[in-house]
Structure 1
Amino acid sequence: MKGGKRTGSQAGETAISPLSRCTGRRALYAAGVLTLLPALLAACTHRERKIPPDAELADVLLLPQRLDGYAADAADSLPIPPPCRAQLLEEFRREYFRPWSGGPSPFDIAQTKGGMIAVARGKWYGQNRRRVDSAFLRTLLESCALESFPSRNDPAIAVLPSHLRGLPTTLPLFEKFGDFPFDQLEYPQMKLNEPLRVLHATTDGLWLFVETPYSCGWVDARAVALVDRGVMKRWLDGELLVLVRDFQKVSDGRGGGFRAKIGTLLPLCGVREGDWEVAVASADDSRSAVIREVRLPREGALPFPVSFDARTIPLLGNQLAGGAYGWGEMYGLRDCSALLRDLFMPFGIWLPRTSRDQIESMPQIDLSKLSPQEKERRLKESGIPFRTLLFKPGHVMLYIGCDRSGRPLVFHNAWSIRLESDRKPQVHYVGKTVVTTLQPGKEIGAAKGSTLLDRVTALGIITGRCRDAMHLP
């Protein structure tokens, strides 16, 4: 949820009836579930409830967390007509390869520069829970050489998965004492061999300020190699494969390798002994990109783009389900917007990086002035499973259909749920990718007015971008 509030998904309410979305699905009343829920409901004095820190939400216990059944139920509405598919793919290629276009940066350079200055002049806590020394921040800002920012315009490529940072340091800055994991310098992770544009360097040359397809920030210079037209041509003009196995090992052709995420794009060179042969860029001694051909197992990648259907959605989504929450992709994990970006990348469907940018990238239906019941009714009328995003400030979710009781369900990476309390604010941590209703957490005392249904403000349909071409409703 980079760019939003740090509350994650603060949600509440669910019923505890057996849930089944398709004929023949078994009810999920396992004995362990039935014995656990009463313990979750036990209350102590006032409205305070002692909830075990690792207690699962009833939604997570009772709703299937794999996407196979939901995708099967929505199978008839999943296919995207060819004109729209072509339009979405053209948009994806334009955005993905933008750093190599030579055109103006889509990011506000003056605002970016001003933001670095403001951060360096702020008051922060460090990893040791003490105030960060202002002298350290001044030295850090001086190393940015902002008086000449930006000073370069060089096409490049990410030669290893690496994190962007708001300032050239790996040390965190926290707004409050004990504010982990919300490091305000943590920006998105670059995927292996993503197109980049180098815009600047620190005075010592150890950090580069780069533009990626969806963000910009500082990165360790060892993660970047400059590219010439020949290297760019391999990605721009050749057939591409996309990784469909998360954290797939990819060789660097020199005896080493990387763990690369779903959505990583690599040029296809051929097939050898049942394996894919792909091109991988690495850096030579002069920090220029060199191409090596390496092998990938066939099950680790598919030709790009992948078809959008009831087989491929679970193929990707089931690997992401249950994945731990990672603010700004900390530790190589995902937050709410990174989850959806990576889920849709293999299909050639572009989503920007932050939750707000994602919902604003498509036509929206304003839900902010509706009651919870009206919001739910509007979602059922207008939402298309697996093509519809729901937004509340700081959080984004994928609508995947309704359960047997007619309650809308969402697939999302949620951080926490705010609990009702007479004392200081309390939260229960979800901390992973889950399938829930829009009212998860009622059984553990979610705060009144804090559910996803209460706070959702907009609905967007991804294929609504194709309205002019397809006459979509």
Structure 2
Amino acid sequence: MMMNLSKLFVVIVLLVLLDPVHMGEGASMNRDLRMNTPEHWINKAEEPAAVIMSAQNISQYNAEVKRVLPTTIFDLRSYPAYLTAQSLTGLLQAAAMPQDTVYSKGVLVSDRYFDELNQQLNIGAVKDYNKVAYAFTIVRTNVRTFPTRLGIFDTASDREFDLFQETIINPGEPLIILHKSVNNEWGFIQSSNYRGWVLLDNLAVVRDRAEWVQYIDEQDFLVVTGSNVQLAGYHGTDAPLVFEMGAKLPLIRQADIGNEDHYIVKLPARDQLGELSFKQVSIPRSADVHVGYLPYTRANIISQAFKYYGQPYGWGGMHDSVDCSSFIMNVYRSFGFELPRNADEQEVNVGSVFQLKNNSRARIAQLSFLQPGAALHMNGHVMLYLGQENGKRYAIHSLASYTERLDDGSFKRVRPMKVVVSDLNLLRGNGRTFEDSLTVVKNVNW
């Protein structure tokens, strides 16, 4: 969570080990069009329509994740009303400023810039006891490592892997404001599964905590089941309000508007003082949404994953899209799972988790227990398992790049930067296949 050194390590893994990713013998980005459809894999799955876990089981699973990862996944309703100076200072200083050479828009970033940015953390304003505040996001909001919009990159030419981009938060998400920057433009926040800096203009602050809790506890809601749903003109601008897969929208009622049925939902808004108000917004019933969470079945897991097929790779939510771990998180959020945001934390030992053995025979035995929808983890990457075809294991995943071996033996670098279907015989830069590089695999069940 928001550890800049670990984030830099992940970027290096992506650029060095996954980029390039060499094509091994018989390995491929999938070119069989049948395999690029959810129906192909649903038809191969055993009992694809059977419910894997009930809503109660999923709730128990979530509770266990929170127990095992108490500093990563939160029930915000139980978050303390005050933080001590030691606790808050520790959180503010958890991320380290870059020590190596970094760039922004191709230009070397000076040490002076980072000194000034460090001042914006406003450590001097930390009190012995610090009262938190409660808010909702009103637009899709970037969570930053530090209070700055400036993109920071490992190389002068890079524009894809911003070291300060942590994740995004959907509109209507509850947050807790822990601290503010010196210029009062940024808030240091805690969401249900992330911590970082967001623009305060993107938040509506709540005066009455009970009203905040009531909105969180709404029992009737829509879930976004498409890769996203966009509501145009919500804030009186041309920019649409974008909700990612798995977002919850409290449902007020259904209504006929014109010649089409609509859902009427309740969304947080910001008044002229920056405080909370609510608006009723209509969403056509034809939109890719569902009343309540989807039933947790193999067919639905696969169908949800393929709604991202071909969409752009977006590190930390850049380009209004998903990276490898947010892809997994969003698919499972459609069923009510509350997973960590980052891939290494998603490996949490809850459910049917296998720490893979080095012995090849033992690994084969462990992999034989995989079910469609399982999460496949290796250093710096996570994939969603689909099944086997002609003796090869396949996955769908948000992938940055790979390299093809040409007929003359040379290599051609390819950057799909999108969600793809591939087998696991792809080679990493160290010569090992994806399958041999797997460290943890897990069937998400209880």
Equivalent position of 2:10 in the other structure: 5
Q: Secondary structure at the match of 2:116?
A: helix
Q: Secondary structure at the match of 1:329?
A: helix
Q: Does 1:450 align with 2:438?
A: no
| One-letter amino acid of the structure 1 residue matched with residue 60 of structure 2 | Q
Equivalent position of 1:412 in the other structure: 397
Q: Could you say if the C-alpha distance between residues 398 and 14 of structure 1 is closer, same or farther in structure 2, counting changes exceeding 3 Å?
A: farther
Equivalent position of 1:269 in the other structure: 252
| One-letter amino acid of the structure 1 residue matched with residue 290 of structure 2 | L
Verify the 8 A CA contact 1:251 1:295 in the aligned structure 2.
Answer: no
Q: Could you say if the C-alpha distance between residues 324 and 374 of structure 1 is closer, same or farther in structure 2, counting changes exceeding 3 Å?
A: farther
Deviation at 1:188, TM superposition (A): 0.4
Deviation at 1:275, TM superposition (A): 0.9
Equivalent position of 2:51 in the other structure: 79
Q: Distance in 2 between matches of 1:124 and 1:298?
A: 51
User: Which of 281, 296, 300 matches 2:268?
Assistant: 281
Equivalent position of 2:203 in the other structure: 224
Deviation at 1:413, TM superposition (A): 0.9
Deviation at 1:461, TM superposition (A): 2.0
Q: Secondary structure at the match of 2:35?
A: coil
Q: Could you say if the C-alpha distance between residues 193 and 374 of structure 1 is closer, same or farther in structure 2, counting changes exceeding 3 Å?
A: same
Q: Does 1:15 align with 2:21?
A: no
**1:370-398 deviation digits (Å, cap 9, x = unpaired):** 33x65344212x21211x21110111111
Equivalent position of 1:48 in the other structure: none
Matches within 5 A, 1:175-190: 175-190=154-169
Verify the 8 A CA contact 1:99 1:155 in the aligned structure 2.
Answer: no
Q: Distance in 2 between matches of 1:253 and 1:377?
A: 53
Equivalent position of 1:325 in the other structure: 313
| One-letter amino acid of the structure 1 residue matched with residue 376 of structure 2 | L
Verify the 8 A CA contact 1:158 1:196 in the aligned structure 2.
Answer: yes
Q: Distance in 1 between matches of 2:29 and 2:359?
A: 27
Deviation at 1:98, TM superposition (A): 2.2
Verify the 8 A CA contact 1:124 1:174 in the aligned structure 2.
Answer: no
Deviation at 1:154, TM superposition (A): 1.0
Equivalent position of 1:401 in the other structure: 387
Verify the 8 A CA contact 1:401 1:409 in the aligned structure 2.
Answer: yes
> Which blocks of at least 5 consecutive residues in structure 2 are unaligned?
none
**1:161-193 deviation digits (Å, cap 9, x = unpaired):** 010111111112223343442211011001111
User: Which of 216, 219, 222 matches 1:238?
Assistant: 219
Q: Could you say if the C-alpha distance between residues 426 and 111 of structure 1 is closer, same or farther in structure 2, counting changes exceeding 3 Å?
A: farther
Verify the 8 A CA contact 2:298 2:372 in the aligned structure 1.
Answer: no
Q: Distance in 1 between matches of 2:103 and 2:73?
A: 34
Q: Could you say if the C-alpha distance between residues 379 and 110 of structure 1 is closer, same or farther in structure 2, counting changes exceeding 3 Å?
A: farther
| One-letter amino acid of the structure 2 residue matched with residue 205 of structure 1 | N
User: Which of 350, 354, 359 matches 1:365?
Assistant: 354
Deviation at 1:357, TM superposition (A): 0.4
Deviation at 1:312, TM superposition (A): 3.3
Q: Could you say if the C-alpha distance between residues 188 and 172 of structure 1 is closer, same or farther in structure 2, counting changes exceeding 3 Å?
A: same
Verify the 8 A CA contact 1:11 1:439 in the aligned structure 2.
Answer: no
Equivalent position of 1:128 in the other structure: 105
Verify the 8 A CA contact 2:103 2:154 in the aligned structure 1.
Answer: no
Deviation at 1:217, TM superposition (A): 0.8
| One-letter amino acid of the structure 1 residue matched with residue 116 of structure 2 | T
Deviation at 1:281, TM superposition (A): 0.5
Verify the 8 A CA contact 1:155 1:196 in the aligned structure 2.
Answer: yes
**1:20-40 deviation digits (Å, cap 9, x = unpaired):** xxxxxxxxxxxxxxxxxxxxx
Select between 326-335 and 235-244 the one with higher mean Cα deviation: 235-244
* Identity among equivalent pairs (%): 21
Q: Secondary structure at the match of 2:326?
A: helix
**1:58-110 deviation digits (Å, cap 9, x = unpaired):** 424566222222123225165214352452466699998723333389xx855
Q: Could you say if the C-alpha distance between residues 215 and 231 of structure 1 is closer, same or farther in structure 2, counting changes exceeding 3 Å?
A: closer
**Bigger strand share:** 2
**1:315-357 deviation digits (Å, cap 9, x = unpaired):** 4222211111111111221110000111111100121111110
Q: Could you say if the C-alpha distance between residues 140 and 221 of structure 1 is closer, same or farther in structure 2, counting changes exceeding 3 Å?
A: same
- When normalised by structure 1's length, the TM-score is 0.78
Deviation at 1:456, TM superposition (A): 0.9
Verify the 8 A CA contact 2:170 2:242 in the aligned structure 1.
Answer: no
Q: Could you say if the C-alpha distance between residues 97 and 156 of structure 1 is closer, same or farther in structure 2, counting changes exceeding 3 Å?
A: farther
Q: Secondary structure at the match of 1:260?
A: strand
Select between 268-277 and 1-10 the one with higher mean Cα deviation: 1-10
Equivalent position of 1:341 in the other structure: 329
| One-letter amino acid of the structure 2 residue matched with residue 170 of structure 1 | R
Equivalent position of 1:171 in the other structure: 150
Q: Secondary structure at the match of 2:338?
A: coil
| One-letter amino acid of the structure 2 residue matched with residue 13 of structure 1 | G
Equivalent position of 2:97 in the other structure: 119
Q: Could you say if the C-alpha distance between residues 275 and 140 of structure 1 is closer, same or farther in structure 2, counting changes exceeding 3 Å?
A: same
Q: Secondary structure at the match of 2:223?
A: strand
**Bigger helix share:** 1
Q: Could you say if the C-alpha distance between residues 84 and 201 of structure 1 is closer, same or farther in structure 2, counting changes exceeding 3 Å?
A: same
- When normalised by structure 2's length, the TM-score is 0.82
> Which blocks of at least 5 consecutive residues in structure 1 are unaligned?
17-56, 467-473
Q: Distance in 1 between matches of 2:318 and 2:278?
A: 29
Q: Does 1:207 align with 2:186?
A: yes
Q: Distance in 2 between matches of 1:202 and 1:217?
A: 12
Verify the 8 A CA contact 2:29 2:420 in the aligned structure 1.
Answer: no
Q: Could you say if the C-alpha distance between residues 347 and 264 of structure 1 is closer, same or farther in structure 2, counting changes exceeding 3 Å?
A: same
| One-letter amino acid of the structure 1 residue matched with residue 220 of structure 2 | E
Q: Distance in 2 between matches of 1:15 and 1:250?
A: 44
